[in-house]
Amino acid sequence: MTDFGTRLRAAMDERGPLCVGIDPHAALLGRWGLGDDVAGLERFSRTVVEALADQVAVFKPQAAFFERFGSRGIAVLERTVADARAAGTLVLMDAKRGDIGSTMAAYAETFLRKDSPLFSDALTVSPYLGYGSLRPAVDLARESGAGLFVLALTSNPEGAEVQRAVREDGRTIGATMLAHLAEENAGATPMGSFGAVVGATLGDLSSFDLDINGPLLAPGIGAQGATPADLPAVFGAAVRNVVPNVSRGVLQHGPDTSALRSAAAAFAEEIRAAVAG
């Protein structure tokens, strides 16, 4: 399998960099006129995939919204991943896993082993047991041609108390995570497979080196207040590698498939214009 960085770059160049979340939380299911149950979960997920799989570069299912229904919810997640990947859309599993040793290895095998029913093109992971704790996921991602997105500078206000904390060497924790990722991606072309999560709501990040030769997943556009026009100011020269994530801004237009497609197309066009400008 071609490595994730190569597949992602090709998808972004062909379709634009938009990543649409698949976030079937109870309020959104209700807005769609669906029950907060497995049947509603399946209808929601199937509709999003069928409406947008030929249009967006990446889907980002939020695992928690499926896991809350137990084994039946996981079965829906498996089908959602399979359907999206079969339709040619990359799948970034938003599970934010993080642990040590054999437990981290087991999490990695769940989402990054090729024969797993939940195998995804990439996985979000948390490095706050130390970046080295992610090594089982890094190694398996390389072996499987998959990618990782490491939480570095997240859009939630609480994140700053950890990510902006300063180490003894004067470097912040967030900057340290970015430096680790730059090392993982060294020499990769057209870009590496190991990305960072960096919030689009954070304003001027010029004090951080975002040039990690890898993708930057940018949550916060739409409902959280950021707009595509903000991307160049936030990400600077690294903006071409940004994968902007929009969830509610698109999903609120369902269940009408035409409305979903129109909303995604509008965001994609705004992003293209912002990045090109």
Question: Between the CA of residue 90 and those of 6, 94, 259, what are the distances in Å?
Answer: 12, 13, 22
Is-cis flag, bond preceding 190, omega within 30? yes
Catalytic residue among 25, 96, 240, 248: 96
Query: Token pair for residue 18?
Result: 């938009």
Nearest partner of 260 among 107, 46, 82, judged by Cα: 46
Is-cis flag, bond preceding 244, omega within 30? no
| CA 131 – CA 124 distance, rounded (Å) | 13
Mark whether 60 is an active-site residue: no
Query: Token pair for residue 222?
Result: 């739409």
Query: Token pair for residue 93?
Result: 């599993």
Nearest partner of 20 among 219, 259, 272, 230, judged by Cα: 219
By annotation, the residues acting in catalysis are 96
